[in-house]
Every structure is written in structure tokens, then in C-alpha cells.
């Protein structure tokens, strides 16, 4: 990279290495052109009005890249399905956004390898959280004003075999709800599960089939689960009866549906007695009593992933232990909190 003083008329296409301040007496004082700006033909008259007949500029060597071009190449390399960005890069920074609502995913190993390179950076939101269309999910830039072309070649090599950033679309639209418990079924107490869960499910745009109320009878619960699946449920939530008391038969009832896999227990509080099972492609989630009493539980960490088609097993659930301890704040601000941030 070369630096020299040139007449402003001959500076078109060159790079300004520092902010150029414009003073309008009695009105304003501030940068008219910022560091890194590539001088255009239309900039020349304004520069002259600022008293800049000669300016200090940078010239790139053949293997050097301006920060704006570097940011654009970075964005093209890391953006997978559902990620968009403005190709008109300014001041060397690119912001990547969600093209549609879905589950934001980050390949953390590829992200780590990319950031190890130095002189280029990419910062992201946490993986496995739902995002809305247009939300910013990541930003990146070249750190110095000018970088070497081989650096971007290495970025593109890392990304060529890895999806670094992408968004999974929801694939589940209908959820069956089966609420168990003698106390509710026989009218001894008022149900608290449906009022707690229905707003949460509807916030994801899910149509609810049910609820079906069942006593603590495994055969009745099994039949109810099968019925809501036959009615079109693409996922089933079964509430209550998840502990080790004699009347808590929900795990057995779910197993008796004829599931292909079943994971009982999670390293998340609240939600230790959570259950995930699959009957073919239909996920069945067993919700313990905490689903009634706590605003946020393990369900909030699992539900977005299941809705977007991820099949969770024992290893996936085990990873939720890191960050799976809810602090029980008096004013819950989830998801703007550390809960669930470690289970990537």
C-alpha cells in the first residue's frame, strides 16, 4: 500500500486514509468524507470547496483489497440459505439479516476458524434461536483499511465446505395438545396448562388440535395421542404426569404409542423431567409441571428447533446443560438473557 499527495483531480479511484472535515461557518462541522472512502468524480467539486486542491491518498498494490470489497467477499462467503445483505458496503462493514422467519444456525467451528485468521472478523447472534424476517443476525468487516487478497481466499476456502450462517424454515404447522391428570379431568382443579401453552404455541403460528383432556390412565393417554396424530397433528405436546409418582404414567403412555426413539430427562432447570420422543416423523414432547408455573422452561429451548424440523436425541439434549440453568429473574426478559445460550 502506497501513500502520497496528489492533485484532487487525479485522485479519483483512490482511498482516503483519514476523515476529511468540512466546516460550514455558523452551521456545522463534521466529516464530509470518512476514512476508507473511495474518491468518485462527483466528489471533486466538494473537495475543492473544502479547500482540498491536493489530498493525501492511498494506492493499492495488485494483491491488496479495500475494506469495502473485503466485507462484500466475506458476506458472499458466509451467507447461506435465508441470509441476505446489502451489497452496497459502506465504511467496511456488512450487516447480515434474516430473509425470512426461522431458526438461525451458526457453524461455530467454521466461525472460529474464520476469526482465527486475523484482520477479518465475523460476529453473530447465538445459534438455535428463532429470528424474524429482517432481523440482524451477524456483522463482519476487515479490521484494517486494506487487507491482502490471500486472506479472503482463505475465508472462501473455509466457507466452501461449510454452511457458516443459514436459517431453517418452520416445517410444522399443526400441534396436538393432550392434557393429563385426574385433578383436571374430573374437574377438581382448573386446568393451567392450556392458558400457559396456547399463547406460546400461537406465537409460532401453530394451529392447535385439542386440547384433549385425559385421566391418569396410560391407555387413555396413548389413545388420545394417536387420535390427535390421526387428526393431522404434526407434533404432539403431552402435559403433566411426568414425575415418578405411581399415578404419573405419561412417559409410559407416550412409549406405548409405538415411538422409534425416546429421551426422558433433560439437564435444564426448569425442565428436568422433560421428554422427547418420535413416532416416525412426528415429535412427541412430554411437558412436566414446570410448564404451568414458569414463563420459560426447557420447552422454549427445544420447541423452535423441533418446529424447524430438527430431530433431537440424547446428545442434543445433553448439550443444553451448558447455559440451561434459569436464574429465575423477577422480571423475565427471555430471550434477552443467558438462558440456553450454551447449548449450541
Q: Backbone phi, then psi, for 242, in 5-degree steps?
A: -105, 0
Q: How many domains does the chain have?
A: 3
Q: Note whether 98 and 83 are within 8 A (CB).
A: yes
Are residues 181 and 302 both part of a single domain?
A: yes
Are residues 113 and 228 both part of a single domain?
A: no
The domain that contains 19 carries what CATH number? 3.90.105.10
Note whether residue 288 is domain-resident: yes
The domain that contains 189 carries what CATH number? 3.40.980.10
Q: Note whether 266 and 300 are within 8 A (CB).
A: no
Query: Burial letters for 103-113: b for 16+ Cβ neighbours within 10 Å, e otherwise?
Result: bbbbbeebbeb
Residue 29 pLDDT level (bands cut at 50, 70, 90): confident
Note whether residue 54 is domain-resident: yes
Note whether residue 325 is domain-resident: no
Tell how far CA 283 is from the center of its chain: 22
Q: What is the pTM of this model?
A: 0.85
pLDDT of residue 110: 97
Q: What is the pLDDT of residues 12-28, one digit of tens each?
A: 988 887 788 888 888 88
Are residues 164 and 178 both part of a single domain?
A: no
Note whether residue 344 is domain-resident: no
Are residues 129 and 79 both part of a single domain?
A: yes
Note whether residue 333 is domain-resident: no
pLDDT of residue 27: 82
Over range 269-287, report the average pLDDT: 97
Q: Which of 168, 196, 211 is the last residue of a domain?
A: 168
Are residues 185 and 163 both part of a single domain?
A: no
Please tell me the number of Cα atoms within 13 Å of 11 on its side-chain side: 26
Beta strands in 126-255 (DSSP E): 129-131, 136-142, 146-148, 165-168, 174-180, 207-214, 235-239
Q: What is the pLDDT of residues 66-104, one digit of tens each?
A: 888 999 999 999 999 999 999 988 778 999 999 999 999
Q: What is the pLDDT of residues 52-63, one digit of tens each?
A: 998 887 778 889
Alpha carbon distance 150, 344 (integer Å): 31
Are residues 91 and 135 both part of a single domain?
A: yes
> Nearest 10 degrees: CA dihedral of 320, 321, 323, 324?
80
Residue 344 has pLDDT above 60, yes or no: no
Note whether residue 69 is domain-resident: yes
Alpha carbon distance 336, 344 (integer Å): 16
Residue 2 pLDDT level (bands cut at 50, 70, 90): low
Q: What is the pLDDT of residues 177-228, one digit of tens each?
A: 999 999 999 999 999 999 999 999 999 999 999 999 999 999 999 999 999 9
Over range 106-127, report the average pLDDT: 97
Note whether residue 326 is domain-resident: no
Alpha carbon distance 121, 143 (integer Å): 7
- Domain of residue 241 covers 174-319
Residue labelled with grid coordinates 431453517? 168
Are residues 146 and 203 both part of a single domain?
A: no
Q: Which of 168, 191, 221 is the last residue of a domain?
A: 168
Are residues 39 and 97 both part of a single domain?
A: no
Note whether residue 280 is domain-resident: yes
Amino acid at each position: 500500500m502506497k501513500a502520497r499527495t496528489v492533485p484532487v483531480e487525479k485522485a479519483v479511484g483512490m482511498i482516503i486514509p483519514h476523515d476529511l472535515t468540512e466546516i460550514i461557518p455558523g452551521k456545522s462541522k463534521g466529516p464530509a468524507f470518512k476514512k476508507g472512502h473511495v474518491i468518485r468524480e462527483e466528489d471533486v467539486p466538494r473537495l475543492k470547496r473544502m479547500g482540498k486542491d491536493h489530498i493525501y491518498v492511498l494506492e493499492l498494490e495488485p494483491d491488496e483489497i479495500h475494506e469495502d470489497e473485503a466485507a462484500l467477499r466475506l458476506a458472499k462467503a458466509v451467507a447461506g440459505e435465508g441470509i441476505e445483505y446489502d451489497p452496497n458496503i459502506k465504511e467496511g462493514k456488512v450487516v447480515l439479516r434474516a430473509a425470512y422467519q426461522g431458526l438461525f444456525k451458526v457453524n461455530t467451528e467454521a466461525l472460529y476458524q474464520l476469526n482465527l485468521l486475523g484482520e477479518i472478523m465475523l460476529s453473530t447472534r447465538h445459534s438455535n434461536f428463532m429470528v424474524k424476517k429482517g432481523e440482524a443476525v451477524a456483522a463482519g468487516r476487515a479490521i484494517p483499511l486494506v487487507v491482502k487478497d490471500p486472506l479472503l481466499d482463505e475465508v472462501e476456502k473455509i466457507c466452501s465446505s461449510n454452511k457458516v450462517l443459514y436459517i431453517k424454515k418452520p416445517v410444522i404447522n399443526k400441534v396436538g395438545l393432550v392434557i393429563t391428570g385426574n385433578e383436571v379431568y374430573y374437574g377438581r382443579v382448573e386446568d393451567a396448562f392450556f392458558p400457559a401453552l396456547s399463547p406460546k404455541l400461537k406465537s409460532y403460528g401453530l394451529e392447535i388440535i385439542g386440547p384433549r383432556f385425559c385421566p391418569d390412565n396410560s391407555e387413555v393417554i396413548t389413545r388420545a395421542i394417536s387420535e390427535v396424530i390421526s387428526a393431522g397433528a404434526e407434533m404432539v405436546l403431552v402435559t403433566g404426569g411426568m414425575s415418578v409418582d405411581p399415578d404419573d404414567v405419561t412417559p409410559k403412555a407416550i412409549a406405548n404409542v409405538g415411538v422409534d426413539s425416546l429421551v426422558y430427562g433433560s439437564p435444564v432447570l426448569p425442565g428436568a423431567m422433560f421428554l422427547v420422543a418420535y413416532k416416525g416423523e412426528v415429535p412427541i414432547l412430554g411437558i412436566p409441571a414446570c410448564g404451568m408455573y414458569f414463563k420459560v422452561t426447557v420447552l422454549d429451548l427445544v420447541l423452535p428447533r423441533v418446529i424447524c424440523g430438527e430431530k433431537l436425541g440424547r446428545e442434543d439434549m445433553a448439550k443444553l446443560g451448558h447455559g440451561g440453568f434459569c436464574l429465575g429473574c423477577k422480571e423475565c426478559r427471555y430471550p434477552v438473557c443467558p438462558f440456553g445460550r450454551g447449548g449450541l
